[in-house]
Structure 1
């Protein structure tokens, strides 16, 4: 099955996993992998810039929107302003509140640029087919919790 393939791949690629993203309101719980590669995108959310750090500036993540809406970043289409997004590096949890959801062009790279504000950006295709449109979800950091 698709999920068995993903799990097998993750077992091999654990070194690429640098964290996890959880969005309870839309039932997303995925590993965060370093680097946006085709292989990484099949397993979870991927970092979009080599210099990004959780909890500092803009933390952009990309994810696939598959034909099965429940997979990967497909459920993001249902996220709402005010929903919370948790990302973790397994040492600290970074909690963000969603501030905006908009449709942009795939050419609009401003959304992933570094910022002074502590925020995150989630990017996925606007449809589960080849498309030039993207869904961009922004959130601001509201809380950091240290694991004990």
Structure 2
């Protein structure tokens, strides 16, 4: 009888030891995750995307895109609502990306590609939260490729090659291509100041405050393209702009240019 009590005490201390050790490990793991979350999150997201992501291809026809463009006239919705949509531009996680809705043909306005970044996304009507889960959303009503300031936005992610995540890596002089499957519009990312309107200036890459709307305004007699995404923390917007060079028929585009609008292994959303 005398030996049972010490044995029970020993078992009790053993359970307490392992219990406290488990709690300490959980606390330590939690603190480590907090301190190193910026390093851990991308690895977790990469594993999720490798395991569960599947390419989402869609059919787009010139006739449908033309009809969508004609319906996208100024006055369809209020300017206030369009400004509100700009608040949807943010960084998203792998889980948010995997939950993206299917693309509807009536939203497609075309496609944007930056071959040097291996970046290609569909252009959708409006920068709504839904559209930005799929591709790039236009930031103004009634935009026309090759004229004015064709402005669009897409999400940033911690994974290279998804959405507009590669955008901050662009180099001056890089070509930016837009297409409505009827024409291909070519722009060049470059620093430029418009002589006729010196209060307007644009740069091939810079950061601005989220409330800055000057970068999407038209510049008189200067057609440009503007690509917008958020920075890593969401505290600023990464803005890339390019000057319009020329356009030509999509039917005459080279095989390389056509392939630049179909980067399925990188963007997971392709035009076919």
With structure 2 as the length reference, what TM-score do the two structures score? 0.50
1:39-85 Cα distance to aligned partner (Å, 9 max, x none): 10011111000121111110001010012232100010110110000
Give, in whole Å, the separation in 2 of the partners of 1:3 and 1:48: 28
Q: Cα offset for 1:132?
A: 2.3
Q: Find runs of 4+ consecutive structure 1 residues off by over 2 angstroms.
A: 1-8
* Matched residue SS, 1:123: strand
Checking the alignment, whether the CA contact within 8 Å between 1:123 and 1:135 is kept in structure 2 is yes
Give, in whole Å, the separation in 2 of the partners of 1:3 and 1:103: 32
* Matched residue SS, 1:139: strand
Checking the alignment, whether the CA contact within 8 Å between 2:100 and 2:130 is kept in structure 1 is no
Structure with the largest fraction of strand: 1
Change (3 A) 1:79 1:6: farther
Bigger-Rg structure (1/2): 2
Q: Cα offset for 1:2?
A: 3.9
- Paired residue for 1:120, among 218, 225, 234? 225
Checking the alignment, whether the CA contact within 8 Å between 2:187 and 2:224 is kept in structure 1 is yes
The equivalent of 2:141 in structure 1 is 50
Structure with the largest fraction of helix: 2
With structure 1 as the length reference, what TM-score do the two structures score? 0.90
Note the residue ranges of structure 2 that are not aligned, 5 or more in a row: 1-51, 56-97, 191-203, 252-272
Give, in whole Å, the separation in 1 of the partners of 2:99 and 2:216: 26
Give, in whole Å, the separation in 2 of the partners of 1:2 and 1:14: 22
Q: Map of 1:19-58 to 2, 5 A cutoff?
A: 19-58=110-149
Checking the alignment, whether the CA contact within 8 Å between 1:6 and 1:43 is kept in structure 2 is no
The equivalent of 1:89 in structure 2 is 180
Give, in whole Å, the separation in 2 of the partners of 1:54 and 1:142: 12
Q: Cα offset for 1:6?
A: 7.3
* Matched residue SS, 1:74: coil
Tell me whether 1:133 sits opposite 2:236 in the alignment: yes
Give, in whole Å, the separation in 2 of the partners of 1:37 and 1:7: 13
Tell me whether 1:9 sits opposite 2:113 in the alignment: no
The equivalent of 2:170 in structure 1 is 79
